[in-house]
A = this chain, B = another copy of it.
Amino acid sequence: MASDGFRPLDEKSLAEYIKATPSLSSKLGNQVDDFQIKEVGDGNLNFVYIVTSPSGSCVIKQALPYIRCIGESWPMTKERAYFEAVTLKEHGRLCPDHVPEVYHFDRAMSLIGMRYLEPPHIILRKGLIAGIEYPLLAEHISEYMARTLFFTSLLYRTTTEHKQSVAEFCGNVELCRLTEKVVFSDPYKVSQYNHWTSPYLDRDAEAVREDNTLKLEVAELKSIFCERAQALIHGDLHTGSVMVTSDSTQVIDPEFAFYGPMGFDIGAFIGNLILAFFAQDGHADPKNDRKAYKDWLLRTIEETWNLFQKKFTALWDKHKDGFGEAYLPTIYNNPQLQQLVKQKYMSDLFHDTLGFGAAKMIRRIVGVAHVEDFESIADAGIRADCERRALNFAKLLLTERRKFQGITEVTSAIPKVHS
């Protein structure tokens, strides 16, 4: 199709592509007739194919030069696939238990071949809507976040390694701009694709657009997002970017990755758990009031932060005599000072996390892209009630985040919110 070697694939041409590509045909064989190919992309941006054959399986993800859920009217660089592949590999190296293996990457085709996360893996968000408990979720996701964020930060790396990686990921600017727009800007102004449960939330959406305090806070978060190269973040770590079974947790879809603030990832995940909490009343039925499930969600929020903090600071302790530029051992090697700097670092990170989490919640209620947690509540009045409570809590979190001293203060405030 195009002279740059790119052509969008479909089920048929993909089969030929696999046959011609040794790193894929070595898994799947080269009998095109044996391939079962199914497009399953339910995400917002890309095309995803599950390919199975008698000899194996894989997932093929291809980026097209526009945003899938909007169409060709919203162009978007297909180079995002490159940054996704680099990040899958880097995060996979740091945390192989929770990132699918990459089998193949073709930059010209914007195409990634990776491990098929076979059933019973499902998207976490769908599990949360179904009311399924994942006893290892907090353990696993905290491990993923602690390892990927710690090892790509200046706590572990030299300035030389850091600046080189920062420079490379500056190339993922189109995706950063998309986040800037949909998370930090659009919800606070009239914007073409914004929507909400109308007419119920008309006044709420308007109130967001007129709230100077919110806008002041969101500007600060946006500037941190744009300017602070703290670690290689996933960049889109909501509950739709995690696939789970009862004993496996896998993080997919890091196409928004760049060197940004750690709190953006942790906040995305926790913020989306809070959204899941507020959606539960919309999923309750006479057989299941979801009360126990809401408690599990709150516990999981607490454990996610607490385990993250524990694992992250344990990595810090373990590598405190390493090459990380941030706290040189010859200056920071006394136990009392170690304690002090860790407390300050984790407290700042906690407040960033709450701020970004809140911003991610708000945009899912009055912005362009909503979440199935709420969208799947059929009764618009009930849905609006759930959304309003989530929105009110997010506003509180965004403006008062510095007053929260620990995660249990957050989880005890959540159930107290009224619409």
Contact = CB atoms under 8 A, between A and B. Distances in A.
Interface in A154-177: 154, 159-160, 162-164, 166-168, 170-171, 173, 176-177
A: interface residue count bin: 35 or more
Question: Max chain B CB contacts within 10 Å: which of A216, A226, A337?
Answer: A226
B341 A216 contact: yes
Residues of A contacting B: mostly? helix
Given A180-B325, A188-B331, A212 B173 contact: no
Interface string A311-340: 000000000000001111011101011001
Given A154-B227, A167-B167, A341 B159 contact: no
A185 B328 contact: yes
Contacts of A215: 331-332, 337, 341
Interface in A225-239: 226-230
A340 to B, nearest CB: 5
A176 B167 CA distance: 14
A160 B189 contact: no
A173 B180 contact: no
Interface in A11-64: none
A66 to B, nearest CB: 18
A107 interface: no
Interface in A337-382: 337, 340-341, 344
Contacts of A171: 163, 167
A177 B159 contact: yes
Contact of A166 (B159, B166, B325): B166
A162 B226 contact: yes
Given A219-B327, A340-B212, A173 B154 contact: no
A378 B331 CA distance: 32
A220 interface: yes
Nearest to A223: B326
A160 B178 CA distance: 11
Contacts of A176: 159, 163
Interface string A135-156: 0000000000000000000100
A334 B212 CA distance: 9
A222 interface: yes
Question: Max chain B CB contacts within 10 Å: which of A163, A168, A180, A222?
Answer: A163
Given A189-B328, A216-B340, A222-B326, 12 more contacts: A154-B227, A159-B226, A163-B170, A163-B173, A163-B176, A166-B166, A167-B171, A180-B325, A185-B328, A219-B332, A226-B325, A227-B228
Interface of A: 154, 159-160, 162-164, 166-168, 170-171, 173, 176-177, 180, 185, 188-190, 212, 215-216, 219-220, 222-223, 226-230, 325-328, 330-332, 334, 336-337, 340-341, 344
8 closest Cβ contacts across the A-B interface?
A167-B170, A163-B170, A167-B167, A163-B173, A189-B330, A212-B337, A188-B331, A189-B331
